[in-house]
A and B are shown apart, each in its own frame.
Chain A
Amino acid sequence: MNYVLDFSVVFEKMPDLLMGALATIGLALAGMSLALVVGVIGVAARTSNIRPLRSAVIAFVEVVRNTPFLVQIFFIFFALPMMGIRLNPTATAIIALAVNGGAYAIEIIRGGVDSIHKGQVEAGLALGLHKAQVFRLIVLKPALRAIYPSLTSQFIMLTLTTSVCTSIAAYELTSVAQIIESDTFRSFEVYFTITLMYLVISWMMMGLFALISRHFFSYPVR
């Protein structure tokens, strides 16, 4: 073996990589927010009285959870223009992330809502709390607390999944790395470096999520 590792190209291109990392974080945050919106709307539809609506949500969740993200993003990438919607690859990627993350969010949030007993709500009302107060203190906060661990680990997964968006040439860390690789042929050096960058990003997010949890959810349960 006479290959000599050379990380100098990586250092040279560090500004580009850092911009890519920022784009990845942005993509992830946009995907998470929209996934939450899809999740809440989906749960509302999933628990509605209209049967076709309920079935549609169930089918959506099952299809998304049992097919690869790569196939989903290709499908959406080609389907949107046919529906007359022309978006750039990065916006398309955000939609794909919202669809994928949303399906998982629906399942997780539904579990949280199910975990609140009806008796709790009745007890809150009997104690003279307002409807809004009951929702905020008795339904929302405990439900959020119950789903927080699975929701945030799903968000970390979503962040890691953003790397697949390179397949439609969305702007994020992996696509930046692929361009540098094709210019310099330093494949291992480039990918090793951005792997570490992803590790830092996901550890930072885990830290942030833990901080939020300690701030909002650290009260005694019993």
Chain B
Amino acid sequence: MSVIGQNEMLFLLQGLKWTLLLSAIGFIGGGIFGLIIALARTSAHSALRKTAAGYISVFQGTPLLMQLFVVYYGIALVGISVEAWAAVAIAFTLHASAFLGEVWRGGIQAIPKGQTEAANALGLHYISRMKDVILPQAFKVSLPATVGFLVQLIKGTSLAAIVGFIELARAGQIVSNQTYRPLLIFGIVGAIYFIICWPLSLYGTRLENRMAKAAR
């Protein structure tokens, strides 16, 4: 007898597909909105700055699980019927936009003021100043933290399981209930997450060390 059948393994891999997809949507969507949040957070208008700061602090001060619940049921309330995966993806996008916005705010503010002044003196507009001067440098500075957040996001997608969405963790729960081998199944599920997250974590640490050395 095999310890875990082919069908079970296939079911887990299908869950993994959704984990990766949710992570990708959350990261890309969160990246786009996060850039807007970061720009608003560092803009010259105080109302924009305060709104962005409020947005960030609400998302950083509440559990990701609650954000999932509120968005999931909130969307249904508004009367828009979207599929479960889309509702969950929207929640992860909002979550990621707040965290990435904060990470990139730090990056933007780490760039010396002289850069902005020089760009101004050269007659560059806001868009070109940001796109060509500030953001490329800010992005480089905040790359380790961005990678760190990606790991956090991948792990976070497991919470979609509690809403009932079948991704890797929920698939593990289902298989574990069928096979009565919870330790083995959750061991495998944990190992799959680890295989995805660990290389990213190592990459983030290496970037950080390299930057620390360069700064010295």
Q: Which residues of A contact B (CB under 8 A)?
A: 1, 3, 5, 62-63, 65-72, 74-75, 78-79, 82, 156, 160-164, 166-167, 174, 187-188, 191-192, 194-195, 198-199, 202-203, 206
Known interface pairs A66-B194, A164-B159; A191-B69 also in contact (CB < 8 Å): yes
**Contacting pair A195 B66 (CB below 8 A):** yes
List residues 154-175 of chain B with CB under 8 A from any CB of chain A.
Answer: 155-156, 158-159, 161-162, 169, 172-173
Contacts of B110 in A (CB 8 A): none
Interface residues of B in 175-216 (CB under 8 A from A): 176, 182-183, 186-187, 189-190, 193-194, 197-198, 201
Contact of B169 among A66, A71, A156 (CB under 8 A): A71
Residues of B within 8 A of A78 (CB): 176, 182-183, 186
Q: Is the CB of B70 within 8 A of A192?
A: yes
B112 within 8 A of A: no
Contact (A202, B61) CB under 8 Å given A65-B201, A68-B169, A195-B67? yes
Asked whether A198 lies within 8 Å of B187 as measured between CB atoms, the reply is no
Stretch at the interface among B43-51, B72-80, B117-125: B72-80
**Also in contact, A203 and B158, with CB within 8 A (given A66-B151, A66-B197, A187-B69):** no
Closest to A72 in B: B190
Residues in A with CB closer than 8 Å to B161 are: 70, 167
On whether the beta carbons of B187 and A70 are closer than 8 Å, the reply is: no
List chain B residues, Cβ under 8 A from A163: 63, 65-66
Known: A82-B183, A203-B61. A1 touches B78 (CB 8 A): yes
How many residues of B are in contact with the other chain, CB < 8 A? 38
Given A195-B70, A199-B61, output 11 extra A-B contacts at Cβ < 8 Å: A65-B201, A66-B151, A66-B194, A67-B194, A69-B155, A70-B158, A71-B193, A74-B182, A163-B63, A164-B162, A188-B73
CB pair B190–A71 under 8 Å, yes or no, is yes
**CB-contact partner of A188 in B67, B70, B151, under 8 A:** B70
The answer, yes or no, to whether B58 is at the interface (CB within 8 Å) is: yes
B66 nearest CB across to chain A (Å): 4
The interface residues of chain A, by DSSP majority, are classed as: helix
Complex formed: what's the CA distance from A199 to B70 in Å? 14
Q: Across the interface, which residues of A come within 8 angstroms of B197, CB to CB?
A: 66-67
Q: A195 — which chain B residues lie within 8 A by C-beta? A: 62-63, 66-67, 69-70
**Min CB–CB distance B156 → chain A (angstroms):** 7
Whether B64 is near chain A, meaning CB under 8 Å from some CB there, is yes
Give 1 or 0 for each of B28-45: 1 = CB within 8 Å of chain A CB.
Answer: 000000000000000000
Pairwise interchain contact B186-A74, C-beta atoms closer than 8 A? yes
Q: Please determine whether A70 and B162 come into contact, CB atoms closer than 8 angstroms.
A: yes
Cβ contacts A to B, 13 pairs, < 8 Å: A66-B194, A67-B194, A74-B186, A78-B186, A79-B183, A160-B63, A163-B63, A164-B65, A188-B70, A194-B66, A198-B66, A202-B61, A206-B61
